[in-house]
């Protein structure tokens, strides 16, 4: 289970959750990450499950 | 093209496959239509019926996860109560109707609204807020797109 993460224009972090649609996660990243935006594919275990401070998430 | 109407075995349409129906094909049914194992009931009345073009049911809490979906490539968790549904196949334009129903057990109300600019043909972004207008992550988020 993987997720795609990228930094938003507001400085936060967006997390893309792939659907079971027949596309690879690389194809989904190419399609759903905003153009010219760096991203990283990570294991779901790297995404915090505690969303109390969701707005404070950052990605370097 | 040949269509065989058989009172025992139903309708055989050998030229229809996963690529979809042949353009211009029409049919007039008075009973039910079976597609695979699903029975589609013929609607009553003369009002036209429009099918859902994309849908998703996901959990917006903890580790956000999709339960089931159709014509959705992914959802984007933009922040607390802020999600984007990305379509696997784009809509013909951005004039579709996006229906959002969300909530959590034991929570009184959740309000949904469109944010982040106008909807696009490829994605639909919306927010979920409590009745006090605080951004919230619902346990159940259901989205359906009609066009």
The minimal CB distance from A17 to the residues B61, B64, B71 is found for B64
Provide the pLDDT for residue B18. 52
The minimal CB distance from A31 to the residues B64, B71, B73 is found for B73
Query: Residues B25, B80: one domain?
Result: no
A55–B80 C-beta distance less than 8 A: yes
Which A residues in the span 9-28 are in contact with B, Cβ-Cβ below 8 Å? 12, 14-23, 28
Mean pLDDT of A15-32: 98
Q: Where residue A49 falls among pLDDT bands split at 50, 70, 90?
A: very high
What global pTM score does this model have? Answer: 0.83
In a domain, B67, yes or no: yes
Is this complex scored with an ipTM above 0.90?
yes
Is residue B74 within 8 A of residue B97, CB to CB? The reply is no
Query: Residues B26, B61: one domain?
Result: no
Query: Residues B77, B109: one domain?
Result: yes
Query: Residues B17, B72: one domain?
Result: no
- Give the closest residue to B104 by CA, choosing from B74, B134, B70: B134
Interface test mutation site (partner A, options B18, B79, B81, B82, max chain A beta carbons within 10 A): B79
At A11, list the tokens: 């400085």
B58–A18 C-beta distance less than 8 A: no
Domain of B127, in residue numbers: 52-146
Q: What gap in Å lies between CA A41 and CA B22, rounded to an integer?
A: 40
Mean pLDDT (chain A, rounded): 96
Q: Which of A24-28, A51-55, B80-84, B117-121 has the lowest mean pLDDT?
A: B117-121
Positions in chain B whose pLDDT score sits under 50: none
Is the pLDDT at A19 greater than 70? The verdict is yes
Query: Residues B36, B62: one domain?
Result: no
């Amino acid at each position: 289970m993987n997720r795609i993460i990228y930094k938003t224009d507001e400085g936060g972090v967006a997390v893309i959750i792939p659907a079971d649609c027949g596309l690879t996660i690389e194809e989904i990243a190419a399609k759903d990450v905003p153009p010219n935006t760096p991203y990283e594919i990570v294991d779901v275990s790297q995404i915090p499950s505690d969303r109390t401070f969701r707005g404070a998430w950052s990605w370097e | 093209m040949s269509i065989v109407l058989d009172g025992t075995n139903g309708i055989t349409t050998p030229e229809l496959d996963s690529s979809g129906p042949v353009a211009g094909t029409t049919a007039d049914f008075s009973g039910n239509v079976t597609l695979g194992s699903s029975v589609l009931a013929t609607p009553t009345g003369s009002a036209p019926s429009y099918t859902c073009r994309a849908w998703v049911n996901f959990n917006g809490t903890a580790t956000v996860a999709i339960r089931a979906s159709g014509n959705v490539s992914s959802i984007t968790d933009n922040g607390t109560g802020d999600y984007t549904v990305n379509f696997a196949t784009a809509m013909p334009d951005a004039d579709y109707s996006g229906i959002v129903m969300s909530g959590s057990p034991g929570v009184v109300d959740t309000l949904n609204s469109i944010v982040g600019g106008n909807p696009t043909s490829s994605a639909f972004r919306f927010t979920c807020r409590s009745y006090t207008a605080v951004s919230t992550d619902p346990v159940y988020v259901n989205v359906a797109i009609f066009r």
